[in-house]
């Protein structure tokens, strides 16, 4: 919450402003060295209901000032935090080793989904899923496909993260072949693509 104060003398060591709202009081010291003008102080306040009566007291140069106003809170936002990691193929380690890492991450995410039904996980691309399917049993493969169809595990449409500024139109289109095939054969959603590492892209 921002409060603007008007005063005609510089703030001293003991000058402060006290905001009272919702049964709580918040205090900030004034440190302005201006002789006159407007000063802005910012309070971090707890949530308060609409039509709350706000009282303000500020002390400048030994004189106390008071104000009172009814205020409403700003719009309340709901934030969704999305943890994000990625693993470079062939950069952090050789490709076969990265493939094992990726497959292990899929196993761990599926196990975590059993313990936490609201958990969702998105792969970097179809390459990760391709490596998993090559090395796993039919029952393990079906477990992954079931999670994808139920929208717990998400496989983006593109094969891998591409430097799209360098790719040709044909390369970009062909990058969706694996995702389209997965959708056609197994009923997987074919709705989105992602870029998790390329800092600049078309």
Q: What is the DSSP letter of 70?
A: E
Q: What is the DSSP letter of 167?
A: S
pLDDT of 159 reads: 92
* Number of domains making up the chain: 2
Examine the domain organization and report whether 109 and 67 are in the same domain: no
Q: What is the DSSP letter of 153?
A: E
Examine the domain organization and report whether 120 and 176 are in the same domain: yes
pLDDT of 156-184, one tens digit each? Answer: 999 988 877 788 889 989 999 999 999 99
* Structural domain includes residue 179: yes
Examine the domain organization and report whether 109 and 60 are in the same domain: no
Examine the domain organization and report whether 153 and 106 are in the same domain: yes
Examine the domain organization and report whether 108 and 42 are in the same domain: no
pLDDT of 35 reads: 65
Comparing 56 with 112, the larger pLDDT belongs to: 112
Comparing 195 with 13, the larger pLDDT belongs to: 195
Domain that holds residue 141: 95-186
Q: Domain boundary residue among 55, 71, 87?
A: 71
* Structural domain includes residue 39: yes
Is the pLDDT reported for residue 47 higher than 60?
yes
Q: Give the Cβ contact number of residue 175 at 10 Å.
A: 20
> What percent of the chain is modeled with pLDDT above 70?
84
pLDDT of 132-156, one tens digit each? Answer: 999 999 999 999 999 999 999 999 9
Examine the domain organization and report whether 66 and 104 are in the same domain: no
Three-state SS at 170: helix
With cut-offs at 50, 70 and 90, classify the pLDDT of residue 32: low
Integer angstrom CA distances of residue 37 from 8, 80, 126: 7, 41, 61
Distance CA(68)–CA(139), nearest Å, equals 68
Strand ranges in the chain using DSSP code E only, listed in sequence order: 2-7, 16-21, 24-29, 37-42, 52-60, 63-71, 121-122, 153-154
Examine the domain organization and report whether 180 and 140 are in the same domain: yes
pLDDT of 8 reads: 54
* Residues composing the chain: 202
Examine the domain organization and report whether 182 and 100 are in the same domain: yes
* Structural domain includes residue 87: no
pLDDT of 139 reads: 95
Examine the domain organization and report whether 110 and 180 are in the same domain: yes
The angle that helices 95-115 and 138-149 make with each other, rounded to 10 degrees, is 60
Query: Is the pTM for the entire model greater than 0.75?
Result: no
With cut-offs at 50, 70 and 90, classify the pLDDT of residue 114: very high
Examine the domain organization and report whether 55 and 104 are in the same domain: no
Distance CA(121)–CA(171), nearest Å, equals 26
* Structural domain includes residue 62: yes
Examine the domain organization and report whether 60 and 101 are in the same domain: no
Examine the domain organization and report whether 117 and 63 are in the same domain: no
Q: What is the DSSP letter of 45?
A: -
* Structural domain includes residue 67: yes
* Structural domain includes residue 153: yes
- Across 51-79, average pLDDT: 86
* Structural domain includes residue 86: no
Q: What is the mean pLDDT of the chain?
A: 84
With cut-offs at 50, 70 and 90, classify the pLDDT of residue 127: very high
Comparing 3 with 118, the larger pLDDT belongs to: 118
Q: Indicate which CATH number applies to the domain containing 158.
A: 1.10.1240.90
With cut-offs at 50, 70 and 90, classify the pLDDT of residue 3: low
* Structural domain includes residue 85: no
Q: How far does CA 106 lie from the centroid of its chain?
A: 22
């Amino acid at each position: 919450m921002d409060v603007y104060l008007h005063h005609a003398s510089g703030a001293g060591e003991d000058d402060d402003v006290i905001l009272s709202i919702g049964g709580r009081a918040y205090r900030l010291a004034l440190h302005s060295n201006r002789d006159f003008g407007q000063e802005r102080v910012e309070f971090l306040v707890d949530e308060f209901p609409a039509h709350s009566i706000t009282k303000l007291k500020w002390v400048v140069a030994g004189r106390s000032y008071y104000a009172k106003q009814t205020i409403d809170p700003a719009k309340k936002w709901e934030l969704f935090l999305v943890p994000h990691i990625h693993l470079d193929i062939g950069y952090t380690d050789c490709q076969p080793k990265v493939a094992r890492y990726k497959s292990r991450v899929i196993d761990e995410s599926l196990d975590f989904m059993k313990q936490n039904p609201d958990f969702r996980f998105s792969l970097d691309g179809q390459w990760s899923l391709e490596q998993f399917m090559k090395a796993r049993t039919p029952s393990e493969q079906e477990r992954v496909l079931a999670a994808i169809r139920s929208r717990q595990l998400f496989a983006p449409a593109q094969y891998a993260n591409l430097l799209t500024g360098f790719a040709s139109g044909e390369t970009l289109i062909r990058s969706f072949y694996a995702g389209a095939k997965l959708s056609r054969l197994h009923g997987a959603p074919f709705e989105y693509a992602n870029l998790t590492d390329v800092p600049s892209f078309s």
